[in-house]
Amino acid sequence: MANSNSFEALQFQVGSIFTPGSPVNERDLFAGRIKQIGSVADAVSQQGYHAVLYGERGVGKTSLANIIKDILPGSWIVPRVNCDGTDTFSSLWKKAFRDITFTTETHGIGFTGEKNLTVSSIVDGLPDVLTPDLVRNVLSQISRQALILIAFDEFDRLGDKNVAVLMADTLKGLSDYSIPVTVLLIGVADSVDGLVEGHQSIERAMIQIPMPRMSTDEIRQIVTKGLDRLNMSIEPSALSEIVGLSQGLPYITHLLALHSTKATITRRALSVSSADVEIGITEALSGWQQTTTKSYYDAVQSAQPGNIYKQVLLACALAETDDMGFFSASAVRTPLRTLTSRDYDIPNFAQHLKNFSEESRGSILLRTGETRRIRYRFASPLHRPFIIMKGFKDGLLTRQQMKQMQI
């Protein structure tokens, strides 16, 4: 049994192991994603190729970008640029070049003059406005001295569509001239078209890397690897609950594991239990993003006694989905029956689904398709785990029901 000082140290250390507030930046704590790592390596190893990494928010794209340098053979320079809505083509590349430095050596006067080393950034000698051709020339010169991979994260946040056009022109130029530099574009999108829309000319030079939600084994690895670093363990039932509630999103895994492990340490124990996970759920919900919380309450608020908005929304979160996260009204029936012990026909809750897609109820669902082929998806991937955990906390969903529905 650890002493009190050890538990105090663990309380401090756990926040650097499970990090919902920031992406993973340490190779030892990174779990899974073998296929995606291999695809990035393929892009790097083939001259003239670049890569685009895309997927839902919260699936670990930035974490993968953070550890790329550690998985590449040899000595690489890997600037990672965070894009924002104010960026221009010039500002993006200046951010990248600012992280690439070179050292010049000068000698003092005479034979005994001392050597002076000056470190400068590539960006220092560049004009205010950059063009694709100028960027290509700069990268051509740099690539003679070093191995370069440049990652542009949150590429979907760019406000000016012309930036994507100029970036496509740049990638095409780098490919056409066989410049040995790799560019990795990273962003939230359902497909590559969502990031580099309409630029078929560069498709042949782009390795497309979808970043799906994590598998059960990968989510499990996040928890067990982290606890191993703390010399702690977790009961199988507690691990299953964290894995199920995570819904394949590593952000949720880190959030639940952090608060559950803190609960374990608080009671001076070293094995995380289901009771600790229950406390972790409550703590996670209390600190959830305000936008998600507000959209939930907008969706379920009603002055009408006996309304079933909460139950229908929870059933939506429990419904079986396709690969894109969409579900049909018929998929809601079974979980709704489990939650309410009543067999509702679709007309009894169809209006609820429609309302959930309207602004008056927070637009928590996206609605697509025509009559009889209408499908729904949550507006944010974080809605589903929040709603399930809220349902459990509020007593709408029991542990037994979670096991029954394999959560």
pLDDT in tens, 326-382: 999 999 999 999 999 999 999 999 999 999 999 999 999 999 988 778 999 999 999
Query: Residue 53: which residues within 8 A CB-CB, separation 6 or more?
Result: 36, 40, 61, 64, 65, 184, 185, 186, 187, 209, 211
Distance set, CA 86 to CA 38, 90, 159, 163, 168 (Å):
33, 11, 7, 11, 19
Asked if residue 391 lies in contact with residue 314, where contact means CB atoms within 8 angstroms, the answer is yes
Confidence of residue 304 (pLDDT cuts 50, 70, 90): confident
**What integer pLDDT is reported at residue 58 of this predicted model?**
81
More confident residue, 364 or 28: 364
User: Taking Cα atoms as reference points, which of 189, 183, 163, 160 lies closest to residue 171?
Assistant: 183
**What integer pLDDT is reported at residue 26 of this predicted model?**
57
- For the chain, give every domain's residue range: 3-19+215-287, 33-210, 290-405
Question: How far is residue 267's CA from residue 280's CA, in Å, rounded to a whole number?
Answer: 13
CATH no. for 290-405: 1.10.10.10
**What integer pLDDT is reported at residue 112 of this predicted model?**
57
Is 102's pLDDT higher than 80?
no
**What integer pLDDT is reported at residue 103 of this predicted model?**
65
Confidence of residue 57 (pLDDT cuts 50, 70, 90): confident
Confidence of residue 199 (pLDDT cuts 50, 70, 90): low
Is 28's pLDDT higher than 60?
no
**What integer pLDDT is reported at residue 355 of this predicted model?**
95
Burial level of 108, CB count in 10 A (0-12/13-18/19+)?
exposed
Question: How far is residue 345's CA from residue 120's CA, in Å, rounded to a whole number?
Answer: 69
Angle at 384 between CA 378 and CA 390, to 5 degrees: 135
Beta-strand ranges (E) seen in 34-167 are 50-55, 76-77, 80-82, 101-107, 115-121, 147-153
User: Taking Cα atoms as reference points, which of 236, 381, 393 lies closest to residue 295?
Assistant: 381
Confidence of residue 71 (pLDDT cuts 50, 70, 90): confident
More confident residue, 201 or 253: 253
Residue 384 token pair: 């589903």
Question: How far is residue 291's CA from residue 296's CA, in Å, rounded to a whole number?
Answer: 9
Is 67's pLDDT higher than 90?
no
Q: 115 pairs with which residues across the strands?
A: 107
Q: Which residue has the tokens 């022109």?
A: 169
**What integer pLDDT is reported at residue 27 of this predicted model?**
59
Q: 105 pairs with which residues across the strands?
A: 117
Work out the average pLDDT over 110-137.
80
Confidence of residue 18 (pLDDT cuts 50, 70, 90): very high
| Class (C level, CATH) for 3-19+215-287 | mainly alpha
Amino acid code (one letter) for 121: S
Work out the average pLDDT over 23-31.
60
Is 288's pLDDT higher than 80?
yes
**What integer pLDDT is reported at residue 37 of this predicted model?**
83
Is 116's pLDDT higher than 90?
no
CATH no. for 33-210: 3.40.50.300
pTM: 0.81
Confidence of residue 73 (pLDDT cuts 50, 70, 90): confident
